Amino acid sequence: MAKATDKKQVSRVKIKKKTWFRIVAPQLFGQQEVGETFVETPETIIGRKVDVNLKELTNNVKDQSAYVSFRMTKVEGTTVHTEPIGYSLTPSYVKRLVRKNTSRLDDYFVLQTKAGERVVLKTIMVTRSKVQRSVQKALRSTMRSLLQGELRKMDFTGFLALLVSGRLRKTLSSLNKITPLREYTLRVMTLNGMASEPLPEETVDESAAEAEAAEESTDEEEAAEEEQDDEEEETQ
């Protein structure tokens, strides 16, 4: 009787090597390192997004309430290059801006840069006292006009540089001629690709209903907060 010999087959697991890649900011922020990623192939990096606190890019503590978004676009060796695609304020910072007996004005619209890039903008203005709807309308209209005027002069990166450097704020300061403001700035800014054709002027006003709804919602929240505070004071 033949002796059976069973040979165990040993499966070999192929382990792919991973490599560390440095992620650097674009020239606007001095190409400083903003992070690292550990991947097998550089092709998987392209298109990924990374959010960086603005304070880490400017070394200014006053910028800690804002974040800049970058998209990874190119790999050279073990260095990943990026391009800016967005800017946003933290919700906690926005919440701290609003006070009692003030008006919060939010707006949302799409504008186009000189380079033909479509940019989604969400603005916020907080007045120093309650204002009428006619004043609110004038503020929103002027804000849109000022931003459109700047965007027509430059591309998205140039406009971001204007924003983070504080120079855009000087341009927007003319809003105070309508009524004194506690704050006036961009809450969110996002690059939304290239426009196939120039945007019509009506595009700017597409969000009027949304802005009005947001305003009414904000007014209701403020009224509820005031009522709650009054109840607490009576209890005490």
Whole-angstrom Cα distance, residue 94 to residue 147? 20
Query: Tens digit of pLDDT for each residue in 10-34?
Result: 556 566 688 999 999 999 999 999 9
Mean pLDDT, residues 148-160: 96
Comparing CA positions, the residue from 124, 121, 106, 198 lying closest to residue 160 is 121
Domain architecture of the chain: domains with CATH = 19-89 (no CATH), 91-230 (3.30.479.30)
Comparing CA positions, the residue from 106, 178, 119 lying closest to residue 147 is 119
User: Is the C-alpha dihedral spanning 31, 36, 37, 38 positive or negative?
Assistant: positive
- The vertex-207 CA angle with 97 and 217, nearest 5°, equals 45
Report the pLDDT averaged over residues 75-100: 94
Dihedral in degrees, nearest 10, Cα atoms 114, 115, 117, 123: -30
- What per-residue confidence (pLDDT) applies to 6? 54
pTM of the model: 0.77
Q: What is the pLDDT of residues 189-236, one digit of tens each?
A: 999 987 665 655 544 444 444 444 444 444 445 444 444 444 444 444
Note whether 129 and 102 are within 8 A (CB).
yes
pLDDT of res. 84 = 97
Closest CA to 164 of 92, 48, 60: 60
Burial class, 30, CB count within 10 angstroms (exposed 0-12 / middle 13-18 / buried 19+):
exposed
